[in-house]
Amino acid sequence: MALLEYDMPLYRPPSEGRNLILQVTLGCSHNECTFCMMYKTKQFRARPWEEIRAEIDRLAPHFQGVDRIFLADGDALVLSTRRLTQILDHLHARFPRLARVTSYATPQNIHAKSAEDLALLREKGLTMLYVGVESGDPETLTLIEKGATDQEIIDAGQKANAAGMKVSATVLIGPAGRERSAEHAEATARVLTKMQPAYGSALVMMMGPLEDDYKQMMERRRGGPWNWLDQRQTLEELRALVAAIDAPAMEFRSNHASNYLPLRGRYPEDRAALTRVIDEVLNNPGHPALRPDHLRAL
């Protein structure tokens, strides 16, 4: 048996790339977002406690220096609070240097937990949640079947913050198409501003060989035109988003491999600098900071 065996495909945020990953669920409990192909090949299920405990016990002797663990798959927070506390307690018992445990979470997962549940999980060591915001535009959220409204997303972020957890919020560039690009950017900036996540990150929507099929599906759902953004329009939407965010303390990144332009800065002090960088690239086609298409990926 290999030391690390995963039920593939396996996904994690870029910042978790060097950390130990423990699959406590398989797939995504929502799995209806139109843009997300990550777990379409998986039937969602929660792994049994005995299976999780045995895997922790098997891995622990080989990873005693581990200080960060990511709980996969798509939304580990869907597990009951009792099950999550079992997992967290056992992780801390077996990994003496463990300082941070994180997971993906949907807004629905957060709202399903009481404030007391979230506070308990934070006390047990669940320190940060990666929450897919995608858009703040109500029409776009409906179009992509997010399963949560803009206000529900804001409330979920604030609820996690109130429990002492950090939130890393992910937004999409391109889900509204060219037709609602401006509305999407403005509304998404408003949601991030009100959520006040510790981290905000942007991903560019990509569908590879399915782009034509996706366009047709969006047009059927929308009852009108829906067109992919080109490179310039993608950068313009990113600029509109970056310029409109008014978060009091947030680190913003566009370092995911889907992005044309990797950015990193803190709000509010770096907002002007971030917009200047985007303007410079927009004014100089072929700028060396641009990531070529063949190096972009999900």
pTM: 0.95
Q: How many folded domains does the chain comprise?
A: 1
Q: Taking residues 214-234, what's their average pLDDT?
A: 97
Angle at 170 between CA 265 and CA 217, to 5 degrees: 135
In a domain, 108, yes or no: yes
Measure Cα distances from 51 to 47, 89, 144, 164 in Å. Answer: 7, 15, 34, 30
pLDDT category at 290 given cuts 50, 70, 90 is: very high
- Taking only the tens place, the pLDDT of each residue in 59-109 is 999 999 999 999 999 999 999 999 999 999 999 999 999 999 999 999 999
In a domain, 292, yes or no: no
Domain span including residue 94: 14-283
In a domain, 296, yes or no: no
In a domain, 157, yes or no: yes
Distance CA 161, CA 148 (A): 18
Candidate from 180-184, 207-211, 263-267 with smallest mean pLDDT: 207-211
- Taking only the tens place, the pLDDT of each residue in 34-46 is 999 999 999 999 9
In a domain, 289, yes or no: no
pLDDT category at 229 given cuts 50, 70, 90 is: very high
In a domain, 6, yes or no: no
How much of the chain, in percent, has pLDDT values that exceed 90? 92
* pLDDT on residue 1: 55
User: What rounded mean pLDDT belongs to the chain?
Assistant: 96
pLDDT category at 47 given cuts 50, 70, 90 is: very high
CATH of the domain at 200: 3.20.20.70
Distance CA 191, CA 205 (A): 19
